[in-house]
Amino acid sequence: VLQSSNSLKASYEDWLLTYGLSISPFHMRWQTALFNRQFYSWGRWKPRFLYLWFSIGMVFGIVAMFGSVILLGKTLMQTLTQMLTEAPKAQNDRMLQVVVSVLSSGLYLRVVPGVNLPVSQLTYFFSAILISGVIHEVGHGVAAIREQVRFNGFGIFIFIVYPGAFVDLFTTHLQLISPVQQLRIFCAGVWHNFVLGVASFMGLFLLPAILFPFYYTGVGALVTEVAEDSPANGPRGLFVGDLVTNLQDCPVYSVEDWNSCLGDISEKSQVGYCISAATLQQLSFPARVYRRLDGTVECCSNNSLTDICFSYSNNLDSHLYACLPARKVIEASKVCRTNEDCQKDFVPSFCVTPSLENQTRLIRVKHPPHIDMLYVGHPMHLQYTVSLSSFVPRQNFLSIDLPVVIETFCKYLISLSGALAVINAVPCFALDGQWILNSFLEATLSSLIVEKQNRELVGFLILLAGSALLAANVALGLWMVTAR
């Protein structure tokens, strides 16, 4: 609108030029020379060290270029295989799924914040993207100054909602230096992203030692948040500040133990509880027995919030059912699988097992000094709606959220910085991989393929294949997130 106005166009464009701004549909960027002196200071610091540093980065960038093609090819095959299966694995919205995530099984392309990325995680997401982009461009800028290429300026941009960074280098200087020098500059971005990812991983790994003076670990999982709609919410449930030490007979020393215990409980059959024959007869009361649609048996017909139907076997191996008060059965009881687990001191005892729907479990959660929480439901619902931390403050005034914030941010940096390193190394048009490939071909094929046009043709065909591979991964990744 402003550019179409005869009276405002000139002043508007002058204003943009003065402040280094550039605005177009879905895209806004800001460039400045304020940091040029700092960049030149970095680029001239210990030349021999920087030469070695960016030479290592050059080797890494070339390896990453070939590795990214293998990784994208593997991911594409995995995605196609998953598409052909009858039921893809359920998406876990609480897991870190971002625009591009590098995981051990391959590269998963994920888009749409708010769909598979919780809104509460957006601050981490965008901050990690911006920091990863800035570190990437700092690598290019410092390497360029080290190779005597003129540095014009640094800037940041926003494309739709995604932030990023860029450096402005003098193109003529880039074209005049040798292919090996060009490789040091073009590979510096992915190299710095890799280093940032490794540094974040080390910070995450050493976090217990770093925070040791203020927080201790290994004593349980500290509850930091309980969702309002969580089945663990209530007067007999979990509260912020509670320390969970056991799930059933599974000890919990950290958040990893909590997740592992819930996974085991979900995969294995429901455990039972030892109860003497006399206590069983005293607590049970007659009730109508009926089968649910899934084939399981219900014998508590009064919709009680305290009673649960239990099944057990007598000496004749016949299945019997009794409606019992859950807390009285479980408290001070030993867990069991069969009646043999309960025989002690010749006292007749039975192993009574909650008769629940197929995926439902009765879970005893210990969080001393409070009374045990008895949870009935799917174990994963408990995992999704309760947030925990492995770090327990040594003093009451210390925040219980700070270690979680640091942990989460480190994980985002590892994922996003690593993803940027891999994606930018792909031999694809408009990515660093395009310039890495061209310089690599010039450095290695100039004696084999004398004609420059032929080398450019080889590079063009490789870039075309790499671009098609990346586009296929992006398209299928989007489809897996949105359509499935």
Q: What is the mean pLDDT of residues 339-368?
A: 87
Share of the chain above pLDDT 90, in %: 64
Q: Are 141 and 154 in contact (CB under 8 A)?
A: yes
Query: Is 137 among the catalytic positions?
Result: yes
Confidence at residue 113, expressed as pLDDT on a 0 to 100 scale: 54
Mean pLDDT of 209-223: 96
Residues 60, 180, single domain; the answer is yes
Of the pLDDT bands very low, low, confident and very high (cuts 50, 70, 90), residue 278 is confident
Q: Let me know whether 71 and 174 are in one domain.
A: yes
Residues 45, 112, single domain; the answer is: yes
Backbone angles phi, psi at 393, to 5 degrees: -65, 140
Residue 227's domain spans which residues? 215-270+364-393
Please report whether residue 404 resides in a domain. Answer: no
Statement: residue 316 has pLDDT above 80: no
Selected catalytic residue, list 13, 86, 137, 228: 137
Reported as a pLDDT band with limits 50, 70 and 90, residue 92 is very low
**Max mean pLDDT range (187-196, 261-270, 280-289):** 187-196
pLDDT of residue 315: 67
Q: What was the pLDDT predicted at 95?
A: 33
Per-residue pLDDT tens for 152-208? 999 999 998 889 999 999 999 999 999 999 999 999 999 999 999 999 999 999 999
Residues 259 and 146 placed together within one structural domain of the fold: no
The region of weakest confidence among 110-119, 245-254, 330-339, 343-352 is: 110-119
Contact predicate 60/424, CB 8 Å: no
- How confident is the model at residue 302, as a pLDDT? 63
Per-residue confidence (pLDDT) for residue 97, from 0 to 100 = 35
Clarify whether residues 278 and 333 are in a common domain. yes
Residues 388 and 414 in one domain: no
pLDDT band for 90, please (50, 70, 90 cuts). Answer: very low
Q: Is 458 domain-assigned?
A: yes
Mean per-residue pLDDT of the chain: 88
Q: Is position 45 within any domain? A: yes
Q: Residue 3: pLDDT above 90?
A: no
Q: What DSSP letter does each residue of 47-111 carry, written as one string?
A: HHHHHHHHHHHHHHHHHHHHHHHHHHHHHHHHHHHHHHSSSPPPP-TTS---SEEEETTEEEE--
pLDDT (0 to 100) of residue 121: 86
The reported pLDDT for the residue numbered 102 is: 37
Q: What percent of the chain has pLDDT over 70?
A: 90
DSSP code of 287?
-
pLDDT for 265 beyond 60: yes
**Of 131, 152, 258, 255, nearest in space to 199 by CA:** 131
Weakest mean pLDDT among 56-65, 201-210, 233-242 = 233-242
Residues 336 and 433 placed together within one structural domain of the fold: no
Render pLDDT for 8-40 as a digit per residue (tens, 0 to 9).
989 999 999 999 999 988 999 999 999 999 999
Over residues 249-259, mean pLDDT: 95
Residues 161 and 39 in one domain: yes
pLDDT at 99: 38
Indicate whether 11 belongs to any domain: no
Do 266 and 387 have their domain in common?
yes
**Which CATH number does the domain housing residue 226 bear?**
2.30.42
Q: How far is CA 441 from CA 78, 181, 438, 444, 454, in A?
A: 30, 13, 5, 5, 11
Q: Is the pLDDT of residue 348 over 90?
A: no
Burial 93-127 (b: 16+ CB within 10 A, else e): eeebbbbbbbeeebbbbbbebeebbbeebeebbbe
Domain count across the chain = 3
**89 occurs within a structural domain:** no
Global pTM value: 0.83
Task: Determine the length of the chain.
Answer: 484
Same domain, 248 and 333: no
- For residue 208, give both structure tokens: 């217990």
Higher pLDDT pick, 254 / 479: 254
**Do 277 and 262 reside in the same domain of the chain?**
no
Question: Residue 231: its pLDDT value, please?
Answer: 87
